[in-house]
Amino acid sequence: MVSYFWDGQIDKFEEYSRRALKAAHQTNDIRNIAWQKIYLAELRLFQGKFEQAERDITEAERICQDIYDTDMMIQVKINKATIIALTHQQYQQAKQILQSTLPIDAEFSMHTPGAMMAYGIAAVGTGDIEMVMELAKFPFHAMTFVDTGVFGLSWFSPIIIFSLNYQKKYQQAAECLGFTYERGKISRGMVERWPLIKQIEAELKDTLGVQTFQQAYDKGKKMKFSEFREYVM
């Protein structure tokens, strides 16, 4: 089921997650209910449905506390940190949750991609430029560990936008923005509701001029995510 998410087949991912949640309720499988709530919270985040994501992750957290599932709680806390950052712009609090849950230098695990994305969002919000630039490289390094291919990590494109902007690679940042809005199936809803993305879009238009920005944006719409490797590595 999770493979549908990595492949950008969001409708199928949601369909099977809802089926699994219904079955879990019918069999009173509490642990699976919590996992499906976690999956749905992640989906809602990327769809830009932050309030619904917050409700789902709060329910999953309550279940985790009841059954004392530490591994599941790690994923809950990662998602909670992301929600706090995006919904309430509490970036420092999000960073603190992440640091106490999964240190940034922890051994690679199933939790790592989500945690690195959350760290990246928090770093953007707190102005930690060095961390943003380092985390922008993560999806390309992670190809060694993640067998879904680099497109499966294309939801890191918002972090790459900020990294390119910090490096004054404004045209490339506009290209990545075009990719994110037009081809980044997984994260499009999220970026449409993230105020800092709107801010950087306005800044890029001001810096490049509307015409040059649009040309770069249109180029990005046709690019593959793997092409951004040369910009950030």
The CATH number of 1-127 is: 1.25.40.10
Angstrom distance (rounded) from CA 199 to CA 135: 21
Structure tokens at 46: 């990327």
Res. 152 pLDDT band, cuts 50 70 90 = low
| pTM of this structure | 0.89
- Nearest-5° Cα angle at 186, 193 to 107: 105
- Nearest-5° Cα angle at 65, 6 to 112: 30
Q: What is the mean pLDDT of the chain?
A: 88
Query: What pLDDT, in 10s, does the model give residues 33-70?
Result: 888 888 889 888 888 899 999 999 999 999 988 888 88
Q: What distances in angstroms separate CA 175 from CA 164, 180, 218, one per listed residue?
A: 10, 9, 7
pLDDT at 150 over 60: no
Q: What is the sign of the dihedral through the CA atoms of 174, 175, 177 and 181? A: positive
Res. 6 pLDDT band, cuts 50 70 90 = low
Angstrom distance (rounded) from CA 72 to CA 56: 14
pLDDT average, residue stretch 197-208? 96
* Contact (CB, 8 A) for 120 and 135: yes
Q: List the domain boundaries for the chain.
A: 1-127, 150-233
Looking at residue 36, its pLDDT comes to: 87
**First CA to last CA across the chain, in angstroms?**
31
Structure tokens at 202: 């306005």
